[in-house]
Structure 1
């Protein structure tokens, strides 16, 4: 017998008693989760602002006027300031963390870095990572090494950056993820199962 419309509406409105429970969110990938050939399109694009460029240029003392001198940059082949390339690298790597290195114990290297196209204020960047290889270590049984290629594109689908990134990633059995203590949370912080 089908539910009456009143029963369905009551359930939708949450009128039935429910128990609170801690539910695990995304804990990132562990070494076992990576497979050669997998491609992860990282969530969310990010629009690069003038402030991003000015801050990165100043903080890193990048003295190339292409990044901070509009009068100078307007006379170049680009006609405007370029976004600091190290900001583009940092942003793309940051975008990849959610899928590639939330559970990394170290980043062993960034190799074969290439800027394919310039990035300008107002460009929106998107990033994806492809798993190139993975291997276990004889000297450390709690981690494995994963090599990825990170690629960043602008809103016009121009490839603007590529690089190879090699994190050392925890194995799941050594991480012991839980809903009460996800990555980055110390034990005992926030609502605990015994509080429910």
Structure 2
């Protein structure tokens, strides 16, 4: 790459530090993601989720579904992935998921749209250079129907470390 191009390049700020979060803050995560039948087949195979509902259309229809059911773990992972840019892209240890709930089945072709609300933000008792932030994330389909919800927490670096 030429020096002229590098000189014109600007750093794009990514992620948020602890001080950027406040309780009640809501993020509407960008774009959403349409989940295809092939996404579901590949995910279910790679994770050894050999549940017939996820890859056998005739079986799913015999169970009363209109089509193959999307693997709920795939729905969760897509919603979590959509939230990363706004909530945890800057890094910091992932502390876990809590209260994971699947609200209804979803089928190939659904477009998942996610949002997250900051529900807790506190300074770490063990390491005052970081905060612990918890978000409640919801994944909805294009009609606004709730598919998945969960809470998750991350350690997030503080802007000034422990000096604040």
TM-score, length-scaled by structure 1: 0.75
**Deviation string for 1:39-80 (max 9, x for gaps)?**
000111110011110011101111210001111112112131
Query: Partners in 1 of 2:48 and 2:57 — Cα distance?
Result: 17
TM-score by length of 2: 0.90
Please report the RMSD computed on the Cα atoms of aligned residues, expressed in angstroms: 1.3
User: Bigger radius of gyration, 1 or 2?
Assistant: 1
C-alpha distance in structure 2 between counterparts of 1:137 and 1:145, whole Å: 6
Select 2:35's aligned residue among 43, 48, 51.
48
| Pairing of 1:109-128 with structure 2 (within 5 A) | 109-128=96-115
* Rounded Cα–Cα distance in structure 2 between residues aligned with 1:124 and 1:53: 13
- Per the alignment, residue 3 of structure 2 pairs with none
Unmatched 5+ residue regions in structure 2?
Answer: 1-6
Partner-residue secondary structure (3-state), 1:55: helix
Q: Which runs of 5+ in 1 are unaligned?
A: 1-19, 175-196
The residue aligned with 1:36 is: 23
Show the counterpart of 1:63. 50
Once residues 9 and 123 of structure 2 are traced to their aligned partners in structure 1, the CA distance between those partners, rounded to angstroms, is: 33
Q: Which aligned pairs between 1:131-142 and structure 2 lie closer than 5 A? A: 131-142=118-129
Aligned to 1:98: 85
